[in-house]
Amino acid sequence: MKELLKGTIFSILLTVVLIGILSILISTTSLSENIIMPTIIVISAFSIMLGGFIVSKNKKEKGLINGAIVGGIYMLCIYILSCFITLDFSITLNSIIMILAGIIGGIIGGIIGVNF
């Protein structure tokens, strides 16, 4: 359980840093704001993949499950935080895409971590 939380916290912190870099790039360059949502999905999936990798590399077993759990915990945390910030508890197509990308990213990271 401790490794799962460590992987999830790592993923969230990495996401915060990468989204901070993205926001600086968008505000200081001529990058279009249309890239924000797809880039956030990629950043989240990448961060979760690394979190799943870290967890599975240390556990050396059940990478698929551990990665999926990291992705699920991450997405649950982000969803709850987002709901409180926006006061909107609905699930949209973007939410579903984000959840699937997160879980798949975690699974891939977990599989790579076990086999590393």
DSSP secondary structure letter of residue 62: -
Mean pLDDT value across residues 65-91: 88
pLDDT of res. 10 = 94
SS3 content of the chain, % helix, strand, coil (to 5): 85, 0, 15
Q: What is the pLDDT of residues 39-58, one digit of tens each?
A: 998 999 999 999 999 999 88
Task: Compute the average pLDDT of residues 77-86.
Answer: 87
C-alpha 89 chain-centroid distance: 19
DSSP codes of every residue in 66-85: HHHHHHHHHHHHHHHHHHHH
Averaged pLDDT for residues 53-73: 89
Position 59 confidence tier, pLDDT thresholds 50, 70, 90 = confident
The count of domains in the chain is 1
Place of tokens 């690394």: 50
> Do residues 39 and 67 touch, judged by C-beta distance below 8 A?
no
Half-sphere exposure of 87 (CA within 13 A, CB side): 0
pLDDT tens-digit readout, 99-112: 898 899 999 999 99
Residue 95 pLDDT level (bands cut at 50, 70, 90): confident
pTM above 0.75, yes or no: yes
User: Whole domain around residue 21: which residue ranges?
Assistant: 2-115
Nearest to 77 by CA among 51, 55, 42: 51
